[in-house]
């Protein structure tokens, strides 16, 4: 044994004791279970190789950690032991082989049941009445949590029939997934800390000193073992004992099954693994127990676990790795999504190198930085995600992540619309990340109606570099197209003819074809009718655009941002060159008198004679610009009932405030003199 081995064993004991404290006492685990298991296995192997390294306070010599001082201690007359773990099929065969060799048996019957991811609890019944509930604690001494367990609806306060004088039953308290999601939602709405996972939520609920809080938590329980009984003989098999517990009114997992031999165990493991994500509660493996209780007694125990049972763990859904860098991906709609590039790690049955970070708000909430050691989670087929950072392992001089101001693909300006968490690239016609979807929309029937330009052909054109933006479509030749997959000279000629036909369009169709977010056919038509030509539309600011019927502040900002981006202007200029697209401008009816032309008006409060929307539309028809906020450029504020703060701001700026009677005069053409 070297000094390195001695030092490593001491380090492992220190780390495991620290993580025991975080997990069992604070209910705030810092690392995933798989990492804890790895550390424990390393220490076990060291102590097996060098027994002199084994100390009395080693984590390998005890089950858990000390109970909280806030609860009364409970001494377990029958220790609450943990289980040894199996991580592979070979481990399960070895477990079965040891039993057969020790008992000199053939294939034996086992009970297989889900390994619930919750908190182990002991229930003590005297003459059928629940008198005590205790946590496992360190296996010998736990915590009295009777008042909290009494609030769990699944736990009977009184057994229903044929109960013994004394019964101590063991089980697992857990929180169903749906209840966990609802609890976290309530926590967020109340501005309180959310729970990392259902197991944490269940443990935190049971350790509430105020049982009224625990009563509001959606806890459940399944019983899986009998610790002691007086006044009645028990069935001689594990499965029959579970059935007997059900007759007393105690909850038992309905998925428990009898299986034969190691292959029966593994078949059950596979079946349950396939159902795992659809279960109403979290599980992290399967428990196998010898079904014959008499054989259990013959097998006996090792220091901390029974020889006749084992927990077969699923591939870890959470693992530790290092987040090397954060990159930005640009989606088909221009959404910027941060992605974690990770040191490769095996999690959930696959090697993971990338994980989603969702958006900047999530990065800031979880305080994730480049260089951090992070917890990566992968459940089933769900895209891997970074759960959080291990702050105690954070390198010095790390920096908070900042989202880029320009699109990393095309360099266009990035915008964030108020009320949204996602940042978006504004280079819709130019951005390579948005090319395919933008071209497909441009060619669609309700837009430019380019017959024959289907999705697969668009994919080919972009991937081969023949089309980089929609303007390039009109430079394609028959020879270029005829050489593509599934294209011949005739179909190529037909597409060129369809492109030529699409050049004659309308302003509304062209606006819709540009693919501006939130601008559908109706909005495109409204813009065309209101302004008449494209140049006017491209020159408008956000406030001016809101004068168009049905164009609110969000849509107006999308339109203004789109036309402010130089890349988009360049593509539009290409499309408007001679022999390219052409349309007739819309004739705007200027014969209608617009006595309020040039006036900016703000509406506030409610009116008796018409709604705010009707008032806005009527004022706009008379040429007024109806704004949403008061500024020094406002001409009038028209106040109805309960006007709010806009009147005060108007008065502070010296802006005239009119009532509903004055509004009617304006609508009747009786223009008031400026005040």
78: which DSSP letter?
A: S
The torsion angles phi and psi of 658, rounded to 5 degrees, stand at -110, 155
Here the tokens at position 85 are 């773990």
Task: Report yes or no: 431 and 410 within 8 Å, Cβ to Cβ.
Answer: yes
Q: Which of 306, 338, 301 is nearest to 323 (CA)?
A: 338
Residue closest to 313 by CA, chosen among 275, 353, 283: 283
- What's the rounded Cα separation, in Å, for the pair 26 and 296? 35
Contact 314, 284 (CB under 8 A): yes
- Active-site residue identified among 115, 313, 366, 616: 115
Q: Which of 118, 127, 333, 376 is nearest to 230 (CA)?
A: 127
Neighbours of 3 (CB within 10 A): 7
Element (H, E) at 274: helix 261-275
Distances in Å between the Cα of 282 and the Cα atoms of 135, 173, 250, 257, 347 are 19, 12, 20, 18, 17
Taking residue 65's Cβ as centre, other Cβ atoms within 10 Å add up to 20
The tokens for 403 are 């989202």
Indicate the helix (H) or strand (E) that contains 124: strand 119-126
**In angstroms, what CA-CA distances link 528 with 94, 365, 521, 584, 613?**
77, 44, 11, 11, 21
**In the block, which residue shows the tokens 């996602």?**
422
Q: How many residues does the chain have?
A: 675
Strand partners, 607: none
Q: Where are the beta strands (DSSP E) in 390-498?
A: 414-415, 423-425
Residues 359, 401: contact at Cβ < 8 Å? no
Backbone region of residue 371 per phi and psi (left: phi > 0; alpha: psi in -120 to 50; beta: other values): left
To the nearest 10°, report the CA torsion of 401, 407, 409, 410.
-160
Are 71 and 144 in contact, with CB atoms under 8 Å apart? Answer: yes
DSSP H helical ranges for 304-393:
360-366
Element (DSSP H or E) covering residue 131: strand 129-135
Query: Six-digit token pair at 225?
Result: 């073992």
**Is 625 in contact with 600 (CB distance < 8 Å)?**
yes
Nearest one of 149, 147, 154, 83 to 122, comparing CA atoms = 149
**304 flagged as catalytic:** no
- CA dist 488 and 509 (Å) reads 30
What residues are annotated to the active site? Answer: 115
């Amino acid at each position: 044994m070297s000094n390195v081995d001695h030092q490593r064993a001491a380090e492992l004991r220190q780390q495991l004791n620290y993580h025991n404290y975080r997990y069992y006492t604070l209910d705030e685990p810092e690392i995933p279970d798989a990492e804890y298991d790895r550390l424990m296995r390393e220490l076990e192997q060291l102590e097996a190789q060098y027994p002199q390294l084994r100390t009395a306070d080693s984590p390998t010599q005890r089950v858990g950690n000390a109970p909280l001082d806030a609860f009364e201690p409970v001494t377990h007359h029958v220790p609450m032991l943990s289980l040894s773990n199996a991580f592979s099929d070979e481990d399960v065969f070895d477990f079965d082989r040891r039993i057969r060799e020790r008992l000199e048996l053939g294939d034996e019957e086992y009970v297989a049941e889900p390994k619930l991811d919750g908190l182990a609890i002991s229930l003590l019944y005297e003459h059928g009445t629940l008198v005590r509930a205790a946590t496992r604690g360190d296996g010998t001494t736990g915590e009295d949590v009777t008042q909290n367990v009494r609030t769990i609806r699944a736990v009977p306060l009184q057994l229903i029939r044929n109960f013994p004088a004394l019964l101590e039953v063991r089980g697992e308290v857990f929180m169903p997934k749906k209840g966990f999601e609802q609890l976290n939602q309530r926590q967020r709405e109340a501005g309180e800390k959310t729970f990392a996972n259902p197991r944490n939520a269940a443990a935190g609920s049971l350790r509430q000193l105020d049982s009224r809080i625990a009563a509001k938590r959606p806890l459940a329980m399944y019983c899986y073992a009998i610790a002691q009984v007086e006044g009645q003989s028990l069935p001689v098999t594990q499965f029959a004992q579970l059935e007997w517990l059900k007759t007393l009114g105690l909850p038992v997992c309905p998925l428990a099954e009898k299986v034969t031999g190691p292959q029966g165990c593994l078949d059950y493991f596979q079946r349950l693994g396939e159902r795992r994500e659809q279960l109403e509660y979290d599980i992290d493996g399967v428990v196998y127990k010898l079904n014959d209780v008499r054989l259990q007694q013959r097998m006996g125990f090792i220091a901390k676990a029974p020889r006749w049972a084992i927990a077969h763990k699923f591939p870890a859904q959470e693992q530790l790795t290092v987040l090397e860098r954060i990159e930005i991906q640009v989606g088909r709609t221009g959404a910027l999504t941060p992605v974690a590039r990770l040191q490769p790690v095996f999690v959930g049955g696959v090697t993971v190198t990338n994980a989603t970070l969702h958006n900047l708000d999530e990065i800031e909430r979880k305080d994730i930085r480049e260089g951090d050691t992070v917890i990566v989670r992968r459940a089933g087929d769900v895209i891997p995600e970074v759960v959080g950072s291990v702050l105690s392992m954070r390198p010095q001089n790390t920096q908070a992540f900042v989202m880029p101001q320009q699109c990393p693909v095309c360099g266009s300006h990035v915008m964030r619309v108020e009320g949204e968490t996602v940042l978006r690239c504004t280079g819709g016609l130019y951005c390579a990340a948005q090319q395919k979807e933008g071209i497909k929309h441009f060619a669609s029937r309700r837009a430019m109606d380019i017959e024959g330009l289907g999705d697969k052909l668009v994919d080919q054109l972009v991937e081969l570099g023949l089309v980089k933006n929609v303007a390039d479509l009109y430079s394609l030749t028959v020879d270029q197209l005829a050489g593509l997959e599934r294209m011949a000279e005739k179909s190529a000629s037909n597409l060129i003819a369809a492109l030529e036909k699409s050049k004659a369009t309308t302003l509304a169709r062209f606006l819709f074809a540009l693919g501006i977010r939130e601008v559908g056919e109706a909005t495109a038509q409204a813009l065309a009718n209101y302004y008449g030509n494209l140049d006017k539309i491209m020159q408008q600011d956000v406030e001016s655009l809101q004068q168009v019927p049905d164009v609110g502040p969000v849509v107006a900002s999308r339109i203004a941002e789109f036309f402010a981006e130089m890349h988009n202007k360049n593509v539009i200029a290409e499309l408007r060159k001679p022999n390219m697209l052409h349309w007739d401008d819309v004739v705007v009816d200027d014969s209608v008198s617009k006595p309020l032309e040039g006036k900016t008006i703000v509406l506030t409060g409610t009116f008796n004679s018409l709604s705010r929307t009707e008032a806005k539309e009527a004022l706009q028809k008379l040429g007024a610009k109806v704004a949403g906020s008061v500024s020094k450029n406002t001409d009038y504020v028209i106040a109805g009932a309960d006007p709010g703060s806009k009147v005060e701001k108007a008065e502070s700026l010296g802006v005239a405030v009119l009532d509903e009677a004055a509004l009617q005069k304006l609508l009747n053409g009786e223009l008031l003199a400026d005040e």
